[in-house]
Amino acid sequence: MSENVRLIKFEHFRGLPANEFELRGRNLVILGTNGKGKSAVVDGIEFIFSGQVARFTGAGTGSISHNEAVKNVKTGGDPKVVLALSNAHGARGEVSRALSSESIEVTGPGAFRAYFDQHPSVDGFVLRRSKILDFVCDQDADRYQKFVQLLGITKVDSLQRAFVEAERQAKATNERATTTLQTKLAVFNDPVTDFTPQSLADVFAHVSVIVESFEFEKLEKWEDLEQRLPLLTAKRPNANRDKVDALTRALVSIETPLAARPDADVEQANELRGKITELAGSSSDSPRAKLIDRGKAYLSARPDETHCPLCEQEFDKPLEDLLARLKSRSDALIELRAATSSRHAAIARIKRYADDLSAQLEKDLEHSKLLGNEDKKRLRDARAAALRFSRLIARAIGGSFTGDISLPDRLLPVVETRSSLVESLKAQKTALTPPDTTKLEATITLVERGIASWKDISETEQTVGNSSEILRRTTIAKDSFSSAREAAIQAVFTHISGTVIDYYKRLHDFGEGPESSECTALELKPTSRAAAGGLRLAIQFLGLADSKDPRAFLSEGHLDSLGLCLFLAAVRIFNPPGSLLVLDDVLTSIDKEHRRRVGVLLYSEFQDHQIILTTHDEHWNDLLSTSARAWGLQDRWRYIKLEGWNVETGPVLSVVESSWTFIDENLTEPNYRNLGGPFRLVIEDFMKRCAAEIELKVKFKTDGKYTAGDFVTVGIQDKIRDKLIRLDGENETVIRSDVGNVFGQGDLINILSHDNPGRLEITFDQAKDFIDGLRSLTRRCEDHSLIR
C-alpha cells in the first residue's frame, strides 16, 4: 500500500461535531487529558472500517443504543467519518462512512478501495487500553481462534475436521460389518457346550469335531460337508425321514438372522435431504465449481481489478462484494458436496438392507409347503414390501425420487413372524424325532446350517477385514495429518513467539545480570484438541525450567507490556505494510523508561505503518518527539494537543511544534541566530537523560534546575565519549568528531547554560555541526543504552 491518511474528518460523531485531524500522511500523536475527545477519534477509525464501535455493542453494554452513542448530542445530524487519502503519485481521494448508509463511499483511484479492503479486521490494527490484557488472559481456544483468523488457516482446520470425520465413518462402517458378522456367527452358538464362535474358523473346528464323532473322516474344507450330509441323513430312521429333512432345511433358512434395520441411515438420509434442499440454489453452481475457485483466486490476487477477465465487462459491484459472493458460493458448494456424498452412502446401505431382506424372505418362502397360510401370507407381504422398497430406493439413488424415506410398515412384524415360525417348526420336528436321534438331528441341522451360510459368512469376514484395513489406513492418515498440522502450526507460532519475546526483551532487558528481563523465554503452543484447537501462552521466568502462564509471575505493568508485544508482533507479522496501527492510551501502567523503549520499538519496527497514538502522558509525548529527532524521523510525526473541549466545537486543538521541529524549520542562514532557546532545551534534555543513565556525579540542586554547564563542568562529554568508544570502537573517529561538534565549542555551551541564551554569536556552519553532532550522539547513545 502506498496510500496514506492525510486527514480524518468527523461530522456529528460523538464529541466531534465538525472536526478535522490533519496527519499530512505522517504518524500522529494526539495528546490530551481525559474527556478531550482522544478515544472518539479512535471510535471514528473503528467506525469507518467496521461500520460500528464495538464498545457500544454486544454483551455488557446494557441499555446503550449503538446508534445513539455514536451521534453527537448537540447537532443530532447523521454521524459521518471521512478518511482523506493520498498516494505516492499525488492522487487524492476519500473513504467515508455515514451511519445512515450501509456501505462505505470511496472516491479517487481504485487503489483507495484496496487500501480499505486490505486492512485486517479492526481488532487486528486498533489496540485500546481495555483490550491490552486480552492478549495475555484469553482462553486458549479464543487465543487460537484469534490467531487462526489472523493466519487465515481455516482451511487447515476444515481439513482436520474432514480427516476426523473420515476416521469416524470408517469406524462406523467397520462396526456395522463386525456386528453383521457377529449376528451371522451367532446362529452357531451352542449353549449346551458353551460354544460362541468368534470366526468362521471357530465354526469349522466345532462342526468338524461333531461330525467326526459320528466316525466320519476328518473335514479338510467346508465343501466336505456336502459329502458328509447324505452320510448323516442315512443314519436317520426311515420313518418321517423326508419330513424331518424338510423341516431342518426350513429351520436353517428361517433361523438365518435378518440384517439390522437401517433406522439411523433412514434418519440421516432424510436430514441430509433437508440440508441439500436448503442448498438447492447452490446445486446449479456445481458445474461451475472450478470456475468459482479460479475466480476467487484470480480476484484475490488482483485487488485493483475492475473488469471481468472473461467477458471484459466492468464490474457492477465493488470487488469486495464479488469476492464475498464467490466465497459464499464456494462454501455452499463444499457443504453441498459433503451432504450429497453422505446421503448417497446412507441410501446405498438402505438399498443393501432391502435387497438382503427380500432375498432372505425368498429363501424362507421356498419352504412354504411347511408353513400355514397366514404365515405364508405375512412373509409374502413382507417380501413384496421389501421389493417395492428396494425399487423406491433405486429411484432415490437415480434421482427420480427425492422425497423423505421411511421403512414400510409391513416390514415391521417380519422378525416376530419368523421367530414364531421357528418355534412352530422346531416343535413339529421334535415331535417327529425319536429321543435317541436328537444328537444326530442336531448335527444334521448344524451341517445344513454350515452348508447354507459358510460362503456368506466368509464374504462378511472379508468385508470386516477390508473395512478394518480401511479404518487402519484412515486412522494413520488422520494421525499423520494431526501431527503434521501440529508441527506446521507450531513452526508458525514459534516464529510469532520469537517476535514477541524479541519485542519484550527490547522493552525490558537493561543489560546483563539482575537488570535483564525476568521473562527468559516465551511459548505459544497449540494444544492437541483434535478439530477445535487451543493455543497456550506460557513464559519461562528467570530461566526456570517450567514455562507457565505469565499471570503466575508478571506484574500488572509487565503483563500490559507483554500484551502490547503480542499485539505488535501480530501487526508486524500479519498486517500489510502501509496499513494503520492505532494505539489508544495503551501505556498508562508502563513506567517512563519502558515507555521510551516502546517509542524506539515503534520507530525501528513499524516505519512502514502509519501510526496513530493517543495519550494523556506529556512525558511520553516529549520522549516520542525527542527520540523521533534522534532517529531522523522528525518529518514523519505530527503532534496534536487537545487543549480543551466544549459541546459546541468539540476539542480545541493546537499543533505542538517541539523544539526540534522549530530548529529544523529555522536552521537557515537568516534565522539560525534565533535558535538559542531551542538549542538550550535539546542539549539539556540530552545531557539530563545521559547523566541519569551513566550515573554522572553532578552537584545536587534542590530546585532540580540543571544547566548545560552543570554537566559539562563534571566532564559529561569525556564520559560519554569514552563509553561510546569502548562500546563502538569502530566509529571512534566519528564519535570524537560528534563530541567535538557538540561540546568543543566552549562559548556555545556557555551561552546555552543561560536561561535566556539570546542571539547565537556563532557561524551557521557551527550551528549546523552542533545539531548534526547532537542528533548523531543521541542516536548512538540510544543504540548503546547510554541514555534514559
Residue in 257, 578, 715, 744 binding other proteins, rule: CB under 8 A: 578
Q: Name which of 165 and 622 has its Cβ closer to other proteins.
A: 165
Q: Name which of 114 and 787 has its Cβ closer to other proteins.
A: 114
The size of the chain, in residues, is: 788
Q: Name which of 248 and 467 has its Cβ closer to other proteins.
A: 467
**Which residues face 10 on adjacent strands?**
19, 81
Between residue 88 and residue 107, which ones bind other proteins under the rule CB under 8 A? 88
Sketch the per residue contact string, 245 through 264, with other proteins: x for CB under 8 A, - otherwise: --------------------
Residue 656 Cα distances to 7, 522, 649, 651, 787, angstroms:
17, 39, 20, 15, 24
Tell me: does residue 320 bind other proteins (CB under 8 A): no
Query: Which amino acid is present at 63?
Result: S
Residue 592 Cα distances to 226, 280, 613, 617, 687, angstroms:
98, 62, 16, 10, 17
Cα(604)–Cα(602) distance, integer angstroms: 6
We find the least distance from the C-beta atom of residue 272 to other proteins, in angstroms, to be: 13
Q: Is the dihedral of CA 15, 21, 27, 31 positive or negative?
A: negative
Residue in 47, 116, 163, 353 binding other proteins, rule: CB under 8 A: 163
Q: What is the DSSP letter of 591?
A: -
Query: Among residues 507, 309, 274, which one has the least CA distance to residue 404?
Result: 274
Q: Name which of 403 and 577 has its Cβ closer to other proteins.
A: 577
Tell me: does residue 38 bind other proteins (CB under 8 A): no
User: Which ranges of 433-576 does DSSP label H, i.e. alpha helix?
Assistant: 438-508, 556-574
Count of residues that bind other proteins according to CB under 8 A: 60
Sketch the per residue contact string, 496 through 535, with other proteins: x for CB under 8 A, - otherwise: ----------------------------------------
Sketch the per residue contact string, 599 through 638, with other proteins: x for CB under 8 A, - otherwise: --------xxxx-------------------------x--
Residue in 7, 18, 22, 25 binding other proteins, rule: CB under 8 A: 25
Cα(679)–Cα(663) distance, integer angstroms: 8
Tell me: does residue 7 bind other proteins (CB under 8 A): no
In contact, 613 and 627? CB cutoff 8 Å? no
The Cβ-side half-sphere exposure at 527, using a 13 Å CA radius, reads 15
Tell me: does residue 268 bind other proteins (CB under 8 A): no
Query: Which amino acid is present at 236?
Result: R
Residue in 179, 438, 483, 713 binding other proteins, rule: CB under 8 A: 483
Q: Please provide residue 652's backbone torsions phi and psi, each rounded to the nearest 5 degrees.
A: -100, 115
Q: Name which of 39 and 610 has its Cβ closer to other proteins.
A: 610
Tell me: does residue 279 bind other proteins (CB under 8 A): no
Number of H helices, E strands in the chain: 26, 14
Specify the stretch interacting with other proteins by CB under 8 A; choose among 233-241, 455-463, 489-497, 700-708. 489-497
Tell me: does residue 489 bind other proteins (CB under 8 A): yes
As given in the structure block, the three cell numbers for residue 565 are 508485544
As given in the structure block, the three cell numbers for residue 743 are 561540546
We find the least distance from the C-beta atom of residue 231 to other proteins, in angstroms, to be: 32
Tell me: does residue 324 bind other proteins (CB under 8 A): no
Q: Label the pairing between strands 27-32 and 519-527.
A: unpaired
Between residue 436 and residue 475, which ones bind other proteins under the rule CB under 8 A? 470, 472-474
Tell me: does residue 415 bind other proteins (CB under 8 A): no
Sketch the per residue contact string, 667 through 686, with other proteins: x for CB under 8 A, - otherwise: --------------------
**Which residues face 582 on adjacent strands?**
126, 612
We find the least distance from the C-beta atom of residue 604 to other proteins, in angstroms, to be: 11
**Which residues face 540 on adjacent strands?**
521, 547
Residues 6+ apart with CB under 8 A from 14: 37, 40, 43, 44, 69, 70, 71, 72, 79
Q: Name which of 164 and 440 has its Cβ closer to other proteins.
A: 164
Tell me: does residue 476 bind other proteins (CB under 8 A): yes
Q: Name which of 608 and 747 has its Cβ closer to other proteins.
A: 608
Residue in 130, 189, 341, 654 binding other proteins, rule: CB under 8 A: 341
The conformational region for residue 398 under phi > 0 = left, psi -120 to 50 = alpha, else beta, is alpha
Query: Among residues 195, 220, 224, 222, which one has the least CA distance to residue 442?
Result: 195
Query: Which amino acid is present at 32?
Result: G
Specify the stretch interacting with other proteins by CB under 8 A; choose among 50-58, 485-493, 724-732, 770-778. 485-493
Query: Among residues 570, 438, 530, 427, which one has the least CA distance to residue 162?
Result: 530
Q: Name which of 139 and 480 has its Cβ closer to other proteins.
A: 480
As given in the structure block, the three cell numbers for residue 206 are 466345532
Q: Name which of 157 and 202 has its Cβ closer to other proteins.
A: 157
In contact, 417 and 375? CB cutoff 8 Å? yes
Specify the stretch interacting with other proteins by CB under 8 A; choose among 155-163, 314-322, 412-420, 500-508. 155-163
Residue in 264, 359, 487, 647 binding other proteins, rule: CB under 8 A: 487
Residues of the shown chain interacting with other proteins in the complex, contacts defined by CB under 8 A? 1-4, 25-27, 88, 151-153, 155-156, 158-159, 162-163, 165-166, 168-170, 293, 330, 334, 337-338, 341-342, 345, 470, 472-474, 476-477, 479-481, 483-485, 487-489, 491-492, 495, 572-574, 576-579, 607-610, 636
